[in-house]
Amino acid sequence: MKNIDSYTHTRGESIYLDDIPVVAGTLYGACFDSPVAHGKLISIETAEAAKCEGVFRILTYKDITGENQIGGIIPDEPLFADHHVHFCGMPIALVLADSDEHARAALHKIKVNIEPLPVITDPREAAAKGELIIPPRKFKIGEVDTAWAGCEYIFEGQADTNGQEHLYIETQGAYTIPQENGVIRVYSSTQGPTAVQRAVSKTTGLPMHQIEVDVTRLGGGFGGKEDQANTWAALCALATHVTKRPVKYSLHRMDDMRMTGKRHPYSSDFKIGLDKDLKIIAYEATFYQNAGAAADLSPAVMERTLFHCTNSYFIPNVTATAFCCRTHLPPNTAFRGFGGPQGMFVIEAAIAKAADELGIDATVIQQNNLLVTGNELPYGQKVVSEANECWNEAMARFEFEKTTKAVETFNASNKLYKKGVAIMPICFGISFTNTLMNQSRALVHVYTDGSVVVSTAAIEMGQGVNTKILQVVAQTFSISPEKVRVNSTNTYRIANTSPTAASAAADLNGKATLIACETILGRIKTVAAAELKVDESAIELKDEFVYANGTKTEWDWKKIVLTTYNKRVSLSEHSHYSTPDIHFDKTKEKGHPFAYHVYGTAIVTATIDCLRGTYEFDSVNLIHDFGTTMNKIIDKGQIEGGLVQGIGWMTLEEVVYDKNGKLRSNALSTYKVPDIYSVPKEINIGFLQTQKDNLAIFRSKAVGEPPLMYGIGAFFALRNAIKNFNPEAKTEFNAPMTPERVLMNLYAKKLVTV
Ligand code: MTE
Ligand code: MOS
């Protein structure tokens, strides 16, 4: 089934925040944000700006009616800077005017006096100065300290990954409209409607029931709107609360890039030990996470780095330590993979380093250490699937030996172009690592004409979750998809929502939907059984007809629905689902945090131009563990999109802050995202269909984040290609591998005559 949004998307009829018809009297917001990364805020002068054309009012921290606080996990983030500024882009004042242009024009007249303080942008420097947002965390299995003695080979090194701009096509924004009795309706481009509701409640001082958050869809979120949509919603809602006027704020691209956090850059140290059979015996990793100026979701992101620090490998002795480092960058936040990719990059780097030193292919070490059923991960959960299922299938289906032979032949006969291959296996845990968030609710109404509407907490942001929810309804009732409508996500219909994140939205909300539909279906069957005078167990609904004892009756869906209503039996249900069997004890750093794991293996082949340092990806051939996919088109789209986004992170995308904490890559002219030319020339996706994981909705495994991590293979494929040109290059594990870096490495310590 096609994505249900594809029709309105292609016609340009889909409604995003900025498409909502504007109500008369709407004020437009624009933020004056800190030009300094760290300093004492001595004064804010708004008098001149207030005189500008169309300006209605200017708000600062003094106008906050509740608490000046929007921190989600830790209360460490003011909405408006009050006495200090902590990052360039921190909101200081909000101009409200009769148009977007007038609001923005007035910003130029605002003056601030800031006494600069020292700026830290480097996480290691922050850690050295004790600037930690939470105490360090340590995951441990076995005894690393004694394990080194049993190792034949030990290697150490450093591995760094940079940030990544989310670049959702729809920028951040909110539109708030006053209702009667002081209620505020908040339209927000958010992945977390309840997070927005809480932030608005806290900053305005209104109870949560005074705040209705409504989301139709997002033009992409990628984690960037899990927490960071709160700011704009809180600003608009505060303005509405104070002025009693509708307030709209839809960020321009450069404002969005400057003022919002990104994927966390990490700097990490590793030490890896192998025995003579190339089994990894010991692994030690230390992660320095660049959290930015406030906690945001950093502690949770850091936790997932630890969860995925051994990727798809079984290592009996592991100590992994992570530091959540406070710097003066905009608070970094969730981004597809949620810290997992940063952890996986380091173990892959450690394996590559070992392979370099031993003069063998990394694939030999990778293959030799893949997880098998029963292996225990450093956090205590045992795996129930085989990581090598995908690996073996990928090797066989895509004839890996042939690929490497072809690459060798190519490299032997080409001087100016070199190819490299790398394999990237993945193992990604599904569930929120914060166990309590693994709950969901659904509201299903069947109307008397047989049409159905469903509401859940799921946010549609291009990943197709609404289509999957609709499929659950249509399949459970056995009715045509046309009879089902998925409603906007609304905190008055579904309360206390978990954000659409952790790739878990289809599972959590799909399962809740299933429960609601099955409950209603049970009632309908009871009525049908009474009408047809048969036992309830003999009743079945199939293709919009009632079947009794396997025989089609003349009772169609519409008739039985109307009869159920006439009998005064409820055709509505509000259901609750919570993932069973998951737990995690933070005091021991052990438990069973994930409902299941998603596996996969990608083979990435790259060609570099050795004169220019530019490159192309010839192919990505991958086998992905879908469980039993409920929607092949959507799942394939998630793989392709995730993969290309991962390749972008690892290769082209370079977030640059200068030493004063100012974002230099602040526009699409200075920040390169993948375009159609950066997409691999061939992407082949093999579906590994497994039956095991029944905690996935219809056994169709979560697919949103895992494929991003295939992109890590791109880094190592390029690195291998460089090695083929310049065997002396000691290419650092420092992503992104931009063409400039490729060029530097091609000629590192070597003068080549061609
Ligand atoms: N796909 C599209 N098109 N747009 C997005 O914003 N976000 C990703 C992923 N795929 C995203 C996407 C992220 S970060 C997550 S956590 C999942 O979708 C969330 O949706 P799901 O739980 O329904 O997979
Ligand atoms: Mo996704 S990073 O969990 O929003």
- At 753, is the pLDDT very low, low, confident or very high (cuts 50, 70, 90)? low
| Residues contacting residue 35 through CB under 8 Å, at least 6 positions apart | 88, 112, 114
Q: Is 461 in the pocket of ligand 1 (CB under 6 A)?
A: yes
Decide whether any atom of ligand 2 lies within 6 Å of the 505 Cβ: no
The residue with greater pLDDT, 575 or 693, is: 575
Ligand nearest to the CA of residue 702, numbered in listed order: 1
Least confident of 74-88, 407-421, 692-706: 692-706
pLDDT at 387: 75
The model's pLDDT over 395-415, given as tens digits with 9 standing for 90+, comes to 999 999 999 999 999 999 999
Residues 271-299 have pLDDT tens digits of 999 999 999 999 999 999 999 999 999 99
The pLDDT confidence band at residue 752, using thresholds 50, 70 and 90, is: low
Residue among 388, 486, 461 nearest 704 (CA): 461
What integer is the mean pLDDT of 486-513?
A: 98
pLDDT digits 0-9 by tens, 11-55: 999 999 999 999 999 999 999 999 999 999 999 999 999 999 999
Residue 701 CB less than 6 A away from ligand 1: no
pLDDT greater than 90 at residue 193: yes
State the average pLDDT over residues 378-404: 93
Residue 438 burial by Cβ neighbours in a 10 Å radius (0-12, 13-18, 19+)? buried
What is the model's pLDDT at position 34? 98
For ligand 1, say whether the CB of 504 is within 6 Å of any of its atoms: yes
Candidate from 164, 168, 189, 226 with most ligand 2 atoms within 8 A of CB, to mutate = 226
| 224 Cα–ligand 2 center, Å | 8
Phi and psi at residue 450, in whole multiples of 5°? 90, -5
Rounded mean pLDDT, 454-471: 98
pLDDT number for residue 100: 98
Q: How far is the CA of 222 from the centre of ligand 1 (A)?
A: 6
Tokens in use for 224? 């960037």
Decide whether any atom of ligand 2 lies within 6 Å of the 226 Cβ: yes
> What is the percentage of the chain residues whose pLDDT exceeds 70?
99
Query: What is the SS3 assignment for 135-189?
Result: CCEEEEECCHHHHHHHCCEEEEEEEEECCCCCCCCCCCEEEEEECHHHCEEEEEC
Which pLDDT value is given to residue 689? 83
Is residue 595 in contact with ligand 1, taking CB distance under 6 Å? no
Reported pTM:
0.98
| Number of neighbours of residue 740 by Cβ within 10 angstroms | 11
Q: Which atom of ligand 1 is nearest to the CA of 335?
A: 14
Atom in ligand 2 nearest the alpha carbon of residue 223? 4
- Of all ligands present, the nearest one to the C-alpha of 335 is 2
503 C-alpha vs ligand 1 centroid, how far in Å? 6
Amino acid letter, 472:
V
pLDDT at residue 691, rounded to an integer: 77
State the average pLDDT over residues 369-387.
92
In this predicted structure, what is the pLDDT of residue 384? Answer: 87
Q: Kindly indicate the confidence band of residue 750, based on its pLDDT and cuts at 50, 70 and 90.
A: low
Pocket test for ligand 2, best of 336, 342, 433, 649 (most atoms within 8 A of CB): 336
Please report, to the nearest 10 degrees, the dihedral formed by the alpha carbons of residues 351, 356, 357, 358 taken in order.
Answer: 80
Read off the pLDDT of residues 346-360 as tens digits, 9 standing for 90 and up. Answer: 999 999 999 999 999
How many angstroms separate the alpha carbon of residue 489 from the centre of ligand 2? 17
Q: How confident is the model at residue 172 (pLDDT cuts 50, 70, 90)?
A: very high
Whether residue 66 has pLDDT greater than 90: yes
In this predicted structure, the answer to whether residue 365 has a pLDDT above a threshold of 60 is yes
Given a cut of 70, whether residue 671 has pLDDT beyond it is: yes
Q: Is 168 in the pocket of ligand 2 (CB under 6 A)?
A: no
Looking at all shown ligands, the one closest to residue 705's CA atom is: 1
For residue 370, list its beta bridge partners.
313
Q: What is the pLDDT of residues 557-569, one digit of tens each?
A: 999 999 999 999 9
Instruction: List active site positions.
Output: 705
Q: Which of 263, 705, 709 to mutate to test the pocket of ligand 2 (most atoms within 8 A of CB)?
A: 705
Q: pLDDT, tens digit, for every residue of 603-638?
A: 999 999 999 999 999 999 999 999 999 999 999 999
Give pLDDT, residue 730: 87
Q: How many residues does the chain have?
A: 754
Q: Say how far apart CA 152 and CA 669 lie, in whole Å.
A: 49
> Is residue 728 over pLDDT 90?
no
Q: Encode pLDDT of 538-549 as tens digits.
A: 999 999 999 999
Query: Is residue 431 lining ligand 1, measured as CB closer than 6 Å?
Result: no
Q: Is the CB of 336 inside a 6 Å radius of any atom of ligand 2?
A: yes
Average pLDDT for the chain: 97
Q: Residue 195 has what pLDDT?
A: 98
